Amino acid sequence: MSEFLKEGQLFDEKYKIIKQIGKGGMSIVYLAENIRLGTKWAIKVARKDMGEKVDLLAEPNILKNLKHEALPRIIDIISNDNRIYIVEDYIEGTPLNVELKNQEKFSEKIVVEWAKQICNVLEYLHKQKPNPIIYRDMKPSNIILSKNKHIKLIDFGIAREYKEESEGDTTYIGTKGYAAPEQYGKAQSDARTDIYSLGITLYHLITGKSPLEPPYEIKPVREFDKNLSEGIEYIINKCTKQDPLQRYQSVNELLSDLNNIYKFNSEYKRIKRRSFIKTGTLTAVFLMFALLTYIGYLKLENEKLTEYNSILAEGKKYESENKNNEAIAAFSTANNKVSSRIDGYKEIAKLYLKSMDYDKCINYINNEVFSKLDDFQNDDEMLYILGTAQFEKKDYENAAISFEKAKEINEEEINYYRDLAVSYARSNKLDLAQTIIKDIKSKGLDDSVTSYISGEIYSKKNDFDNAITMYKKCINETKDEDAKKKTFISIAEIYRDNSDKIKDSATKEVEILEQANSQLTEKNNLLIQEMLGQAYFNKANNYKEVDKEYKDNLEKSLGKFNMLVSSGVNNAQVYSNLGIIYQYLEQYEKSEASYLKMKELSPEDMHSYIRLTVLYIEMANKGIDSSENYQKAKTNYNYIIQHNPKGANDPEILQLSVLMKNLK
């Protein structure tokens, strides 16, 4: 394959080619520098005629949907008549095949640690929805050891989605010696294919023996080094079985053995088999007791962790079925089982956030999570959830504090920069928002979200035309679904909050939100459904003189709020909205039921009593059980007078008093 790019060449008017850093049968990889930002990137180049052998877009199509610290991000895809150029993260570090040349082999301790890191990446890939992703090309040259000694996985050129209905792979590609036997035949590769290749890779790393050199077979590793444990020998042997049914059936199963590798040692088995201790000294008895106690402790901890993960899975199943109360109960049980892990707490916080119960989310994180362990306060994901809930409550000052803390802990997460900048913009700290834009560009992060931030700055200046232009630019450019969703919402908020300045604002709000519904991968996002419910209600009020349009829009509004309830949203505001719409549609029994549910959920809020009083007055005035509804109105009205914290001179109460007098 001839050279595609040359050192010093300026590619695409912004990437200066520094040097070639990799070469394979189908592509060449170059290190390049963005001359505007000073950031370094890897550029992979392939001829389009190689597409007859392999899908050249397989790697970007897979990586663009993934987000994991051990995987590179795709930044740009450039195509001309003859070649495809893929710009992705440049992973600074050394491939393990190069490390092997310098060191010959690695210690068991290091290899086991790397194996655990690789298992975590593979588990992430294998759990992708709707189809697991099978990597299919595990080998030392595709594993980078970063400067901070973390493992990074590169080269997804032959990865594929595993589909249950497929009988075989569409292509055979792999690296001889590392590829599993099924990659040479017609069988479909699955998780066990990656486990085989990982086993061969571990064998190479720990013995220094490549599968492509004598003895050309996988021997028990202790034949090369008696100091290696029986556990690592067992694990590698099981990974590299010719028959997939004899291998580990999942990465999680393999990871469990790596975490309990001591259990395969003869001494451990011997101690475990003994039913009594024969020893002549108290010291020996004590040591044996201590060993058994420690072994028992490890076993108990492993069992607790297994049960913990099982309970979490049960909670997620409940959540997928919109059984939020059962899900929270399950997550709480998991927390009680292993209180030192944050996963269960995080699931509860995310569920409150998803259900738009922002007060509960904030209170839960501050009072239940951060008070448990100091480490929990340094979890960037939990801080981001807290900031998002504060943001939705329009508490932009505190949201900015939470996002800033999250960003300090994890400087590589673009969402933290993005939402921090928007919080600054909405709290009128426009200079700070502009500073974040510069930070994003200088760090080489996803530049497309800067259009979203610029839109927020224009919006704060009431320059709505430019704001909407920038928002739409972000929607068209970004590959980040979350950024796209937030941008749609920001456009809708402009229409919602400026009905006095923008003609047909409710109609435009409905249109942009329905566009979001159709374009976003996540269908029927709950926040968008809530906004649509309100937008259709506002649109209905613009058509009060046109009976059909009025009722049609009310029915659409009703459908959106009922969808929220069926999705597990259970807050007073949703039932208040339902009560009002049912009342407008003169479906009084359903209106009453909604207001009563509102009162049940928020008994101290006077608005449920006010809504019920107005409803009973309306029903009495229309001759619907007049006497009974008059008494209900009077009972609720008297309760309001006695308990309203603002007293009888509250403007809402004064209006209610007039209605009550007219009813008499």
List, for residues 488-546, the tens digit of each pLDDT value: 999 999 999 999 899 999 999 999 999 999 998 877 788 999 999 999 999 998 877 77
Residue 155's nearest CA partner among 96, 204, 83 is: 96
Do 131 and 181 fall into the same domain? yes
Neighbours of 623 (CB within 10 A): 8
CATH of the domain at 189: 1.10.510.10
State yes or no: pLDDT of 359 exceeds 70: yes
Would 235 be classed as within a structural domain? yes
Would 84 be classed as within a structural domain? yes
| pLDDT band with cut points at 50, 70 and 90 for residue 301 | low
- Separation between Cα atoms, residue 110 and residue 206, nearest integer Å: 9
| pLDDT on residue 295 | 47
State the Cα torsion 208-213-214-219 to the nearest 10°: 50
293 vs 53, higher pLDDT = 293
Segment (H or E) for 88: strand 83-89
Do 181 and 264 fall into the same domain? yes
CB < 8 Å & 24+ apart, contacts of 249-255: 249/191, 249/192, 250/126, 250/191, 251/119, 251/122, 251/123, 251/126, 251/191, 251/194, 251/195, 252/123, 254/119, 254/195, 254/198, 255/116, 255/119, 255/120, 255/123
Number of H-type helices and E-type strands within the chain: 26, 11
Do 159 and 218 fall into the same domain? yes
Per residue in 130-145, pLDDT tens?
A: 788 888 889 999 999 9
Do 68 and 206 fall into the same domain? no
Range 553-557 average pLDDT:
95
Would 479 be classed as within a structural domain? no
- Separation between Cα atoms, residue 53 and residue 274, nearest integer Å: 59
Neighbours of 614 (CB within 10 A): 19
Do 71 and 111 fall into the same domain? no
* Residue listed under structure tokens 């649509």: 532
| pLDDT on residue 258 | 93
β pairing state of 28-34 and 40-47:
antiparallel
Highest mean pLDDT among 141-150, 166-175, 323-332: 323-332
State yes or no: pLDDT of 59 exceeds 50: yes
Q: What is the edge-to-edge ordering of all strands in the sheet holding 143-146?
A: 93-95, 143-146, 151-153
- For residue 81, the enclosing domain spans 10-90
Report the predicted TM-score, pTM, of the whole model to 2 decimal places: 0.53
User: What is each CA distance from 579 to 174, 574, 599, in whole angstroms?
Assistant: 62, 9, 11
Contacts of 302 (CB under 8 A, 6+ apart): 256, 259, 260
Do 25 and 107 fall into the same domain? no
Is residue 417 within 8 A of residue 439, CB to CB? The reply is yes
| Percentage of residues in the chain having pLDDT higher than 90 | 50
Per residue in 236-245, pLDDT tens?
A: 999 999 988 8
Angle (CA) 378-379-383 rounded to 5° is 95
State yes or no: pLDDT of 289 exceeds 60: no
By CB atoms closer than 10 A (0-12, 13-18, 19+), residue 646 is exposed
By CB atoms closer than 10 A (0-12, 13-18, 19+), residue 110 is middle
Do 116 and 250 fall into the same domain? yes
Would 386 be classed as within a structural domain? no
Residue that finishes a domain, picked among 90, 115, 142: 90
Range 278-285 average pLDDT:
49
Do 14 and 72 fall into the same domain? yes
Is residue 88 within 8 A of residue 32, CB to CB? The reply is no
Do 80 and 156 fall into the same domain? no
Would 312 be classed as within a structural domain? no
Would 529 be classed as within a structural domain? no
Do 75 and 196 fall into the same domain? no
Is residue 51 within 8 A of residue 41, CB to CB? The reply is no
Would 331 be classed as within a structural domain? no
Is residue 481 within 8 A of residue 520, CB to CB? The reply is yes
Q: Annotated binding residues for ATP, as ranges?
A: 48
CATH of the domain at 51: 3.30.200.20
Highest mean pLDDT among 67-71, 475-479, 516-520, 612-616: 612-616
State yes or no: pLDDT of 298 exceeds 70: no
Would 48 be classed as within a structural domain? yes
**Structural domains of the chain, count:** 2
Per residue in 220-274, pLDDT tens?
A: 999 998 888 999 999 999 999 998 888 999 999 999 999 888 878 765 555 555 5
Do 104 and 64 fall into the same domain? no
Residue that finishes a domain, picked among 65, 90, 115: 90
| pLDDT on residue 144 | 93
| pLDDT on residue 322 | 87
Contacts of 573 (CB under 8 A, 6+ apart): none
| pLDDT on residue 582 | 96
Quick check: helix, strand or coil at residue 34? strand
Give the side-chain half-sphere CA count within 13 A for 456. Answer: 29
Is residue 417 within 8 A of residue 407, CB to CB? The reply is yes
- Separation between Cα atoms, residue 156 and residue 152, nearest integer Å: 12
Which two tokens mark 417? 């920069």
What are phi and psi for residue 68, nearest 5 degrees?
-150, 140
Do 116 and 63 fall into the same domain? no
Residue that finishes a domain, picked among 26, 59, 90: 90
Q: Annotated binding residues, as ranges?
A: 48
